[in-house]
Structure 1
Amino acid sequence: MTAELLPKRAARVRDHLDRFVGSGVVPGAGVVLAHRGEVQVVAVGTLAFEGAGATTPMAADTILRMGSMSKPFTAACAMTLVEDGTLRLDDPLDDLLPELADMRVLADPLGPLSDTVPAKRPVTLRGLLDSTFGTGMVMTASPIAEALGAVGRPEPDEWMRRLGTLPLVHQPGEAWLYDTAANVTGVLIARATGTSFGEALRERVFGPLGMKDSGFTVDPAELGRFATAYAKDDAPDGSPVVDDPPDGQWSRPQTFESGGGGLLSTGHDYLTFVMSLLSGEGVLSRASVELMTTDQLTPSQKKLSGFGPDYFDAMGWGFGMGVATGPNRSGHATGTYGWPGYYGTAWYTDPAEENTTIVLMQREHMGNQNLPVWDEFWAAVYGVG
């Protein structure tokens, strides 16, 4: 892509956002487009349908719930600990995560919790970062799916205790299972550094990169920049339902700082992080970035994915993010890496072309890239001319 095409892409994206926001799905949405040092921000609408947010424009410095786009931050923080020698990718973690030592594994992933066999190998950081350590989201109704759902989100030590009482779904290293690994990684980082997970992120990632608006809570003075989050479905009268207002749960310290989906950030901050990965001149070496942004999974690990055997047809998984491995419905070029978030945020970077797209909105389940609206959006981003 030549630099002069970036404004054309921005114009197509604006047309799409005008129609999308105009349909009433969200009060506002924004997109950050970057290409080889040039950046364009397209923002439409406001931070809320109601209240003060209804007159505050969506912008690149709007604070948003990033959902699963937290996972790359978590992986990056863990890799800083590998680089300074605090952790090793393939060492057992029994000393720091004793709850996961000497684990039992389900004989049948969908069978009774009492029918188990010993784990063949210990849990490692590599298994946490590539989500193959043995447990995670199970999409099929089963005893383990019910038990994992009942773990909840108490304070981290209690959460680990509860998780450790359950058998693993698969042998460590056998299958990719989503989400839980990133939350375990957050607990591991806190224990390895002797601080909270949030403080470790500030010291090792956010502070060094100048990401002043990223963290687990919003400063009271900045609540005016915090977008309202809306539920998936409207009320019976057609009005949008608030899922979380600016003065809701993220205005207070979190009991559980979720490395899988609990972080807040802005388009500006997220771009700063992404550019540090692309340049290899941030908090991580190029070797660490390559591990994070390269498919780490084997065909057999993909086949046993908790999301089904077809989920990885054109995708792999690095450390904390997806990697395009072939032609896909979104139009992401092979080698493109990134990930979406629960409330409709999304980020993808094509390193070969140095193209980055960051999407900003706040409505439940809008991060699902199979929704038809995303096909139209990515067509606007990647369209020719």
Structure 2
Amino acid sequence: MEQILKERLQQVMDASVAKGETPGCLLLVIKDGEEQVYLESGYADIEAKTPVSRDHIFRLYSMSKPITAAAMMILVERGIVDLADPVSKYLPGFRNQIVRRADGHTEKPEHEVLLEDLMNMTSGLTYGGTNETGRLTDALFEEVIRGIEEGNGGTISTVEFANRLGKIPLLYQPGQSWSYGTSADVVGAVIEVASGMRFGDFLRKEIFEPLGMKDTDFWVPAEKQNRLTKVYDCKEGQPPVRYLDHNLGIQNDMAHRPAYEAGGAGLASTIDDYAKFAQMLLNGGTYNGVQILRPATAKFMGSHTLSAAQQAGFDSWIGLEGFSYGNLMRVLVDPTRAVTLGSRGEFGWDGWLGCYMEVVPEKNMTFLMMTQKKDAGTYTLSRKIRNIIFSE
């Protein structure tokens, strides 16, 4: 990458930190298998004046989802599960579901929620909200958090959580629309049941250990706690404030292995660990001579997208114009509609605290940004970084 672009990337990162918009961030760009850019700015711990560095551990939140999707596809290519399977085959809580229509009436599903619906977020599950589905989902998360606050990782397991989600009315008929929510958490529970292993153990055996992702897990043990980045609430014109609450059932300090291993939000990782996973997807399922997915499976992960009816639901997401969605990731299908520069066929996802990953097959490139900013997702800094990278 040209030196002037590297300097611009550093400048926008430093400016974001100086404005209090971002507490600290890392950026890593790998192209043609070679590291092109590594930059850092700001702090992992503002109060202690600890600069953010390459070995710091970040809570991924929704950037956990692509890893969960890859784990499901491992089972698919081995013939253990079928994406057309009903979820109730693995989780009895999904039997005899009901759909709560917008007019308040209930009806039976025209077909059961399928694994495919989970992978595409077309299940009718959601995160919180003011409707009945959202309120009951919020209440379940609060119950998980109460268990966390009692100590030792909580009491509601991954499978119990998913089975209880199955008892909550769906927002719409399965497969007929799109809504962001708890589908990936249910995928994690399905993997646990289908594999006969705890979800976290399956990820460790099938993905983390083979790829050498030694700092990626659902918790951060005592000997690594000093490397866990602090979380901040950053509001324009105000100094960042430490955020200490638990969100979506994830323990903020990650000090204990959780009973509920959240496939949608629960993992923590370093920038180098996650880069290995991203490179594996770019390389057609293989990294450093280790095959995690077969080439056709890896290609499917980054190319499967929504139907026209489902896309209408996704199109309500401001800022993701031009993208579609599939296998728990965004996929750029029309760069002419996007609000940033981009590359057709690029795919990835981000997290609630601002971690961001993109795989760009056209450019043989991956890039990652890591930060811990409350309510971030894809935000101003992410978009500025995208524009600079794609301007080359």
- Do both proteins adopt the same fold according to a TM-score greater than 0.5, normalized to the shorter chain? yes
- What residue in structure 2 maps to residue 259 of structure 1? 263
TM alignment of 1:105-124, pairs within 5 A? 105-106=99-100, 108=101, 110-112=102-104, 115-124=105-114
> 3-state DSSP class of the match of 1:277?
helix
Equivalent residue number for residue 177 of structure 1? 179
Pick the aligned partner of 2:358 from 325, 334, 348: 348
For residue 304 of structure 1, the aligned residue among 304, 308, 313 is 313
**Is 178-187 or 217-226 further displaced after alignment?**
217-226
3-state DSSP class of the match of 2:164? helix
Aligned partners of 1:160, 1:244: CA distance in 2, in Å?
23
Shift of 1:46: 2.6
Letter in 1 for 2:12: H
Within the alignment, does 1:43 sit opposite 2:40 as a pair? yes
Question: Take 1:237 and 1:266, find their aligned partners in 2: how far apart are those partners?
Answer: 28
Instruction: Give the distance between the partners of 1:244 and 1:172, measured in 2 at CA.
Output: 33
**1:30-109, aligned counterparts within 5 Å?**
30-39=26-35, 40-51=37-48, 54-55=49-50, 57-106=51-100, 108=101
In structure 2, distance between residues paired with 1:360 and 1:6? 22
Aligned-pair identity in percent equals 29
- Answer yes or no: is 1:144 the counterpart of 2:129: no
Residue 315 of structure 1 is matched in structure 2 by 323
Alignment-derived partner of residue 210 in structure 2: 208
Q: How far, CA to CA, are the matches of 1:244 and 1:46 in structure 2?
A: 20
- Partner residue of 1:223? 225
Moved more, 93-102 or 260-269: 93-102
Task: Choose from 3, 10, 15 the match for 1:19.
Answer: 15
**3-state secondary structure, aligned to 1:33:** strand
Aligned pair partner of 1:380 in 351, 373, 388? 388
Give the Cα–Cα distance (whole angstroms) in 2 for the partners of residues 357 and 8 of structure 1: 18
TM-score, normalised to structure 2, is 0.87
CA distance in 2, matches of 1:18, 1:309: 28
Displacement of 1:185 after TM fit?
0.4
**Residue type matched to 2:332 in 1?**
A
Q: Deviations over 1:101-122 (max 9, x none)?
A: 232222x2x333xx22221222
Contact 1:69 1:341 in 2 (8 A): yes
d(CA) in 1 for partners of 2:162 and 2:175? 20
Matched residue type, 2:375: H
Equivalent position of 1:359 in the other structure:
369
Task: Indicate the SS of the match to 1:45.
Answer: strand
Deviation sequence 1:258-284 (CA, Å, 0-9, x none)? 111111011101110011111122301
Q: 1:137 to 1:11 in 2, by over 3 A?
A: same
TM superposition shift of 1:203: 0.8
Given the superposition, is the C-alpha separation of residues 226 and 249 from structure 1 closer, same or farther in structure 2, using an over 3 Å criterion?
A: closer
Per-residue deviation, residues 206-230 of structure 1 (Å, max 9, x unmatched): 1111111101011211122211111
CA distance in 2, matches of 1:343, 1:6: 29
What secondary structure is seen at the aligned counterpart in 1 of 2:359? strand
1:319-330 alignment, distance < 5 Å = 319-327=327-335, 328-330=338-340
Superposition deviation, residue 244 in structure 1: 6.2
CA distance in 2, matches of 1:84, 1:6: 43
Residue 237 of structure 1 deviates from its aligned partner by 7.8
CA gap of 1:311–1:343, structure 2 versus 1, over 3 A, is: closer
CA shift in 2, pair 1:311/1:25, >3 Å: closer
| CA distance in structure 2 between the partners assigned to 1:202 and 1:120 by the alignment | 37
Map Cα deviations across residues 153-208 of structure 1 (whole Å, 9 max, x no partner): 34334423432222211112111221311000011111112221111110111111
Q: Which runs of 5+ in 1 are unaligned?
A: none
**Farther off after superposition, 309-318 or 176-185:** 309-318
Would you say 1:134 and 2:134 are equivalent positions?
A: no
The answer to whether residue 257 in structure 2 is matched with residue 249 in structure 1 is no
Partner residue of 2:303 out of 273, 294, 306: 294
Residue in structure 1 matched with residue 148 of structure 2 by the alignment? none
AA in 1 matched with 2:38: V
Q: Partner of 2:87: helix, strand, or coil? A: coil
Is the CA contact 1:28–1:361 (under 8 Å) kept in the aligned structure 2? yes
Three-state SS of the structure 2 residue aligned to 1:344 is coil
**TM-score, with normalisation over the residues of structure 1?**
0.88
- Identify unmatched segments of 5+ residues in structure 2: 145-155
